Amino acid sequence: MSRDTDNRTATLYRMVMPDHLCPFGLKTRALLEREGYQVDDNWLETKEDKDSFMERHGVKTTPQVWIGAERIGGYEEVRAHLGKSVKRDDETTYQPVLAIFAVGFLMALAVSWAAFDTVFTLRTVEWFIAISMTLLGLQKLQDVESFSTMFLNYDLLAQRWVRYGKVYPFGETLAGVLMISGALVWISSPIALFIGLVGAVSVFKAVYIEKRELKCACVGGGSNVPLGFISLTENLMMILMGLWMPAKALLM
């Protein structure tokens, strides 16, 4: 076998048990195959197989990969070895909130097409903001306790009245749902305006005056979204809708 062929061969050990199929083992095999490696796929089919393997090689986790004679390690180590990006647990990212805004925009276009046979009207903008509010509220409602804890780091009202952190997700979601329908503006607008104003002041003070580096609770308590411009945008959108919806009702 040539040296080049040997270097394109990977030996993989992963758990394939009746009650557990290791997802990282599957991801590792798929990654290696995409990169052109011939994978010698070895299954650890019992707990005894796994324990014996880890003791024999002095490792604490599976899967494990060898390329040639060199042990590379698990999935993340293989990604690093192949020059792929490796996501850290503490890495900040805007991806969750950007995904929500993108899906909210697409949903607004879809609703506009269904209602008016056109993809963009003034109502499309209203739906985009209202749907985004609802989706953001839903993220918070998945774990209200976790959200409210993170929220206490920067929200001025929650720091004075702790229970506000548990009320906020319900208020945002309710306002968003009502604004999608255009109904009960006298309820939705004051809610959106109030929580938007308090939120905007809180974020501006924490980020732009005190220069604090915090994580935003906007997509729930477990996110690594940095507090800053995107968080402020969410609040400004609610302020805009809180002012626009009653003004629109008066003009019609």
pLDDT at 1 over 80: no
| Domain coordinates in residue numbering, the chain | 3-81, 95-251
Query: What is the pLDDT of the chain when averaged over all its residues?
Result: 90
C-alpha to C-alpha distance for 19 and 13, rounded to whole angstroms: 17
C-alpha to C-alpha distance for 243 and 247, rounded to whole angstroms: 6
pLDDT at 3 over 80: no
Please give the pLDDT value at position 199. Answer: 94
Please give the pLDDT value at position 119. Answer: 85
Peptide bond into 96 cis (omega under 30): no
Q: Is the dihedral of CA 180, 185, 188, 192 positive or negative?
A: positive
Tens digits of residue pLDDT in 194-233: 999 999 999 999 999 999 888 888 877 667 788 888 888 8
The pTM (predicted TM-score) of the whole model is 0.78
What residues contact 100, with CB distance under 8 A and at least 6 apart?
A: 132, 135, 136, 139, 219
What homologous superfamily does CATH list for 3-81? Glutaredoxin (3.40.30.10)
Q: What is the dihedral of CA 102, 108, 111, 116, to 10 degrees?
A: -130
pLDDT at 242 over 90: yes
C-alpha to C-alpha distance for 134 and 150, rounded to whole angstroms: 19
Please give the pLDDT value at position 230. Answer: 82
Instruction: Considering only residues 64 and 93, tell me which one the structure prediction assigns the higher pLDDT.
Output: 64
List the one residue out of 248, 227, 239 whose CA is nearest residue 129. 239
Please give the pLDDT value at position 7. Answer: 65
